[in-house]
Amino acid sequence: MATNYETFEYDVLVIGAGGAGLRAAIEASAAGVKVGLICKSLLGKAHTVMAEGGMAAAMGNVDDRDNWRVHFADTMRGGQYVNNWRMAELHAKEAPERVHELEAWGAVFDRTKDGKILQRNFGGHRYPRLAHVGDRTGLELIRTLQDHGIHQGIAVHMEHTVVTLLKDGDRVVGALGYDRERGRFKIFKAGAVVMATGGIGRAFKITSNSWEYTGDGQSLAYDAGAELMDMEFVQFHPTGMIWPPSVMGLLVTEAVRGEGGVLRNKDGKRFMFDDIPDNYKPQTATDPEEGWRYTQGDKNAKRPPELLTRDHVARCINREVKAGRGSPHGGVFLDIAWIKEKLPNAAEHIKRKLPSMYHQFKQLADLDITQEPMEIGPTTHYIMGGIRVNGDSQMSNVPGLFAAGEAAAGLHGANRLGGNSLSDLIVFGKRAGEFAAKFAKEHGAGRINEAQVEEAARRALEPFDRGAKAGGNAEGPYQVQHDLQEMMQSLVGIVRREDEMARALDGIGKLSQRAGQVAVFGHREYNPGWHTALDLKNLLTVSEAITRSAIERKESRGGHFREDFPNKDAADGKVNVVVRKNSDGTMNVRRETIPDLPAELKQVIEEMK
């Protein structure tokens, strides 16, 4: 029976230890409850560490015209108005306090001349808004939370992966996981569970995400009865490295453009001036000179078109490449070296402002970004969709199950603005921790269903049984993962069409069958083949959710671009696409009308147009 698995009992179990998970754990433990924190890797290695540009918070340190209203309007405009407006409102209002709190916990942000936290320009943000530390802001965030959190009495389970959420009736009451080191199953009982597992990038071939981002949180929550929302909105970051092949997809921060970097095609043309969407025209520079002045802090200048939203920039790059105007390796050029025409000591300036970009290109591509342009192309970066939550409490439709950060849906709508992710983590990580602790206090522990535990453990070990039977002839998990990534990239990528997505659905069905037959060899101790086999199910679930949602949305909006429906549709603009699991295991897709904005917020949006 299940009783011989090691069992841990917590009030709040947080799954995922990036910015959102750590912030949730800190808040829950501060509320006086017992907290367990599960991380798939070692503590402090989560994807938050990769975030470069900064965290958006309308502190107004650099431009005092900034305030929460502008930030709210920018976020809604960037998200093309399908955001959960309550989350956008809370985010804009609470981000400054969350950033100041980090400083109280030891974070060391770059400074303004008068000693305040410095803020930089970023795509889609009207004023300089991103608190940052060079181009390693994510590291600063995660390390600050980690170093604060380790003194809070949080029990950290490093290198553990959850295979299923455990339920007592409707309610989530814990999780079953395994440790990588020994492959032993462990039961985590909890009054409330916070999903902070991040994204789904590994469903695609070209991605900035690491091996961990296999949609675990979305998939586990879905299996537990939670609704997923906005899954069609995947962000393809416009600037990923494309050469050499081994670094394809690796992120090149938007801060390069924020500091004056420009995009050019192979003819040397700054193509971004060719296509500026109407709703951004009033706030976009009319010529390169004005764009340059904006990046250098001229408050009267408007931003260069390179700093339009990520979805738009990615599509423009795609268009240049398809039209045969791309760079030698199938991307375009991102040039920061040109600023030497404008600044004395430009090389030093670039190294100081973008140290890790300088480092990354020098070491991985043998290229000096202070002298030569970079070759870049779009890379799968982020999913705006995820677990559908209440905007205030972050609880899903499943009692006791909360979500925060990338795993949750709502804040970003159809497209996330750069810099709004790190602030998302701390604003909603805090809220999820707070409300999860409250829920746990009010409801206490639930009952663990041993049959559910046994069944999940048995299924998790099936790949070994098949390996033992097949004796080396069966398919391993890597080929299935690879084929899924290839397929999603080509059929459900930046540009989508109904017929291609129908083929993708068909492909997902076939891949699911193969995934159900993969075999694993060796033993359970630190066996990456086994881990990949278990992750496959999650990848397939989120891939299906993305594809079905993308078919449902018959328009183009934000990160979702349909070649067969290239324009926005007013009716589709009033709904979110929601999926949940039917009782027969199939995926239910439905449209959910977005609640009306309160008059006050409507007015804010009007004022900021």
Partner 1 sequence: MKTVTFRIWRGDAGGGKFTDYTTDVSEGMVVLDVVHKIQATQANDLACRWNCKAGKCGSCSAEINGIPRLMCMTRMNTLPTDQPVTLEPMRAFPNIRDLTTDVSWNFRVKTKIKKFNPRKPDAPDGTWRMQQADVDRVQEFRKCIECFLCQDVCHVLRDHHKHDEFIGPRFLVYTAALEMHPLDTEDRLPELKQAQGIGFCNITKCCTKVCPENITITDNAIIPLKERVVDDFYDPLGWLWKKLRPKV
Binding residues for partner 1, per CB under 8 A?
41-47, 49-50, 100, 103-106, 108, 110-111, 114-118, 133-134, 136, 139-140, 143, 147-148, 150-151, 156, 158, 181, 210-212, 243-247, 250-251, 356, 359-360, 363-365, 476-478, 482, 520-523, 525-530
Catalytically annotated residue among 125, 202, 237, 264: 237
C-alpha distances out from residue 157 to 20, 41, 184, 187, Å: 16, 9, 13, 12
- Residue 244 preceded by cis peptide, ω within 30: yes
Minimum distance between the CB of residue 121 and partner 1, rounded to whole angstroms? Answer: 18
Residue at 307: amino acid letter: L
Residue at 114: amino acid letter: D
- Residue 44 or 123 with smaller CB distance to partner 1: 44
- Residue 140 or 434 with smaller CB distance to partner 1: 140
Q: Is 148 a catalytic residue?
A: no
Residue at 69: amino acid letter: R
Q: Is 237 a catalytic residue?
A: yes
Minimum distance between the CB of residue 281 and partner 1, rounded to whole angstroms? Answer: 36
Minimum distance between the CB of residue 399 and partner 1, rounded to whole angstroms? Answer: 33
Minimum distance between the CB of residue 110 and partner 1, rounded to whole angstroms? Answer: 7
Query: Residue 606 burial by CB count (10 A; 0-12/13-18/19+): exposed, middle or buried?
Result: exposed
Dist. CA 25–CA 39, nearest whole Å: 12
Yes or no: say if 226 and 580 are a contact pair by the CB < 8 Å rule: yes
Minimum distance between the CB of residue 91 and partner 1, rounded to whole angstroms? Answer: 20
For every residue of 155-185, which 3-state class applies, written as one string?
EEECCEEEEEEEEECCEEEEEEEEECCCCCE
- Residue 287 or 366 with smaller CB distance to partner 1: 366
* H helical segments located in 224-345: 255-258, 288-295, 310-322
Yes or no: say if 491 and 504 are a contact pair by the CB < 8 Å rule: yes
Catalytically annotated residue among 257, 264, 312, 496: 257
Yes or no: say if 576 and 227 are a contact pair by the CB < 8 Å rule: no
Both structure tokens of 549:
């949602």
- Residue 44 or 191 with smaller CB distance to partner 1: 44
Per DSSP, the residues of 314-376 read HHHHHHHHHTT---TTSSEEEE-GGGGGT-TTHHHHHHHHSHHHHHHHHHHH---TTTSPEEE
| Residue at token pair 């949180």 | 217
Minimum distance between the CB of residue 135 and partner 1, rounded to whole angstroms? Answer: 10
C-alpha distances out from residue 595 to 395, 491, 580, 592, Å: 18, 32, 20, 9
Dist. CA 532–CA 199, nearest whole Å: 16
Minimum distance between the CB of residue 279 and partner 1, rounded to whole angstroms? Answer: 34
- Residue 432 or 533 with smaller CB distance to partner 1: 533
Find all residues with CB under 8 Å of 465, minimum gap 6, and list them: none
- Residue 106 or 566 with smaller CB distance to partner 1: 106
Yes or no: say if 205 and 27 are a contact pair by the CB < 8 Å rule: no
Instruction: Identify how many contiguous H helices and E strands the chain contains and give both numbers.
Output: 16, 18
Kindly provide the b/e burial profile for residues 473-499, where b requires at least 16 CB atoms within 10 angstroms of the residue's own CB: eeebbeebbeebbebbbebbbbbbbee
- Residue 318 or 538 with smaller CB distance to partner 1: 538
- Residue 130 or 578 with smaller CB distance to partner 1: 130
Dist. CA 331–CA 342, nearest whole Å: 26
- Residue 71 or 157 with smaller CB distance to partner 1: 157
Dist. CA 549–CA 200, nearest whole Å: 15
Q: Which residues are tagged catalytic?
A: 237, 257
